[in-house]
Amino acid sequence: MSSPQLYAIADFCLIPMGLPTPSVGPEIAEVQRVLEKSGLEYTLNDILMRPRWDGAVLTAHSGYGTNVEGPWDAVMKTIGDCHNAVHALGTPRIATDIRIGTRTDKSISSGGNEGKKKRVEDILAAQKQKQ
């Protein structure tokens, strides 16, 4: 008897180190190629650190990182694949920060993170209208 696999939403920031230049654009582009091939839902976050109010929507620029979601094993494999791909480019060292959320109290389908963001935006918009 097996239990259903956890659905995971991960925020990860892969940091290439030991390169001759501070620019990591080619390495991050490679990460995006790996994510595209994975078939998982993913979003490259803006590289800004300021929240901004756009009319009725709060645009959160969480900075440095990528969100990826799907079955736990697939998410973990994909992050590992990102490491392998960036090392294959000649990057001698990589550090990665990862935050992962799972839940068992309700079912989450693909794209579940977008629903969470929409709910927060709706709450903020309703509060803004009351002001």
Closest by CA to 86, choosing from 15, 10, 12, is 15
Structural domains of the chain, with CATH: 7-130 (3.30.70.930)
End-to-end CA distance of the chain: 54
Q: Which two tokens stand for residue 42?
A: 């993913």
| Residue 3 pLDDT level (bands cut at 50, 70, 90) | low
pTM as predicted: 0.74
58-103 pLDDT, tens digit per residue, is 444 445 789 999 999 999 999 999 999 999 999 999 999 999 999 8
| Residue 49 pLDDT level (bands cut at 50, 70, 90) | very low
